[in-house]
Amino acid sequence: MSIEIRLAEPADAPELHRVIREAFSARPAVDPPADALGDTVDDVAATVRDGYGVLVERAGRAIAGLLMEIDDGTARLRRVSVVPGESGSGIGVDMIATTLIAATDLGARRVEIVARREFPRTVTWWERAGFTKLAEIPHGWVMGRPLPVAVAVPDAEAMRALGRRLAGLLRAGDVVVATGELGAGKTTLSQGIGAGLDVEGPIISPTFVISRVHRARAAGPDFVHVDGYRLGSAGELDDIDLQETLPTSVTLVEWGRGLAEGLSPDRLEVEIHRSLDPDDDERTVYLFGIGERWIGVLEALRSHP
Ligand SMILES: Nc1ncnc2c1ncn2[C@@H]1O[C@H](COP(=O)(O)OP(=O)(O)OP(=O)(O)O)[C@@H](O)[C@H]1O
Ligand SMILES: [Mg+2]
C-alpha cells in the first residue's frame, strides 16, 4: 500500500495530534513526562500555522508525523512520531529523509532534535540518520546535522558532469548511498563518477548483478557499483561482503537507503528528485555528507551548480 509524505495544513491538526498521542503514549513512562502528552489539538494547529508539520499517510490514514520550526537557518524537529505497529518498518527513516529535503528547500542549513537520555536506542537511531550529539541538556541531548547541498541538474550530460566533479572529492574508503525513484539518474551519476575516477567500464545498471568492481586504470581507487533494489535487508548486503573491497575502493550503492548505513559511519548520501513536470528533464540532486570525513567537503559544490 503506497505511502504519502506531505507537509501538514492546520486542518490536519487533529490527525497529527492523534499520531503524536499514540506514539508518545506507547513509550515507556519517563520522568519528567514527555511534553508531547500535554499537547492539545490547538497547540499542534498553532505550530503547523506558525511553522510546519509533516504527515505520513497510508490509504488516507495518518501513521506518522512531526512538527518543525525553522529559525535563523536551523530547522528544529519535535514530536517525531510513528504510531505503534508501524515503527521499525522504515517509515521513520523515509519521513526524516523527506523532512530534511523540505527543510533544505525552505532555506534551512542545519537540523536539530532533542533526544531523551532514557532512550538510548532512539539516540542510536538518530546517529544512523547522521545526527551527532551537539550539547548535553538536563534530560538528554541536542543532536543535529548539517542539511544537504542542493544542485540543479538540467539533463543527463549535466548529471555525468556532476559525477565527474564528485569523483574529484572521493577517495578510497568512501561510501556513496544513492537514492531516487526508477530512472531518476543514479546510474547516470555513477557513470560520471566512474569516468572521473578513471575506472574500467562500462558502468551500467547493476540490477541483475548485485555488485560489480570496476578496476582503476591508474593509481586511484577502484569503483564498486552495487544495486540494492532487490536486497531486502542490511543482512543481505552483508552477504556480498563489501567490506573486503571497501578500503581500496569508492563504493556506491544504488537504492542503498536503509541498507548501506552500516557500511561506514561516514558516507555521502545522494538523493535525486525529478521535476514535478513530467516533460522537464531537470533533476535536483541533494548531497548529504555524513560524518567527520565530509565536514566542509561539499561546500565547493554549493556555489557551482
Ligand atoms: N537531468 C537528468 N539527469 C539524469 N538522467 C537524466 C536526466 N534527464 C534525462 N535523463 C535520462 O534518465 C535516465 C536515467 O536513468 P538511470 O539508469 O541513470 O536511472 P536510475 O536512477 O539508475 O534508475 P534505476 O532505479 O532503474 O536503476 C537516463 O535515460 C538519462 O539519459
Ligand atoms: Mg540504476
Which residue segments constitute the domains of the chain, with CATH numbers given?
3-146 (3.40.630.30), 149-302 (3.40.50.300)
User: Ligand 1 centroid vs 230 CA: distance in angstroms?
Assistant: 18
Q: What is the mean pLDDT of residues 78-83?
A: 96
Percent of the chain with pLDDT over 90: 71
Q: What is the mean pLDDT of residues 5-28?
A: 96
The Cβ of residue 33 has, within 10 Å, a number of other Cβ atoms equal to 11
Beta bridge partners of 115: 141
Residue 304: per-residue pLDDT: 43
Total Cβ atoms within 10 A of residue 90: 13
Give the C-alpha separation, 78 to 36, whole Å.
Answer: 9
pLDDT confidence band for 277 (50 / 70 / 90): confident
- Position 137 pLDDT exceeds 80: yes
Write down the pLDDT at residue 278: 83
Residue 195 alpha carbon to ligand 2 centre in Å: 16
Q: Compute the average pLDDT of residues 143-149.
A: 91
Between residues 245 and 265, the one the model is more confident about: 245
Q: Which of 8-17, 25-34, 184-193, 204-213 has the lowest mean pLDDT?
A: 204-213
Average pLDDT on 45-52 reads 97
| Ligand 1 pocket, residues with Cβ under 6 angstroms | 153-156, 159, 180, 182-188, 205, 254, 281-283
The DSSP H or E segment spanning 61 is: strand 61-71
- H or E element, residue 151: strand 149-153
Q: Provide the pLDDT for residue 207.
A: 64
Could you tell me the three cell numbers for 266? Answer: 561516514
Q: What is the mean pLDDT of residues 125-131?
A: 90
Helix axes 41-50 and 13-25, enclosed angle (nearest 10): 120
CA-closest residue to ligand 1 atom 23: 183
pLDDT at 303 > cutoff 60? no
**Contact in structure between 268 and 193 (CB atoms under 8 Å):** no
Choose between 278 and 161: higher pLDDT. 161
Mean pLDDT of the chain, nearest integer: 92
Q: From CA 195, how far away is CA 100, in angstroms rounded? A: 30
Ligand 1 atom closest to residue 159's alpha carbon, by position in its atom list? 3
pLDDT single digits (tens) 169-217: 999 999 999 999 999 999 999 999 999 999 998 999 866 778 899 999 9
Q: How far apart are CA 40 and CA 43, in angstroms?
A: 5
pLDDT of residue 206: 66
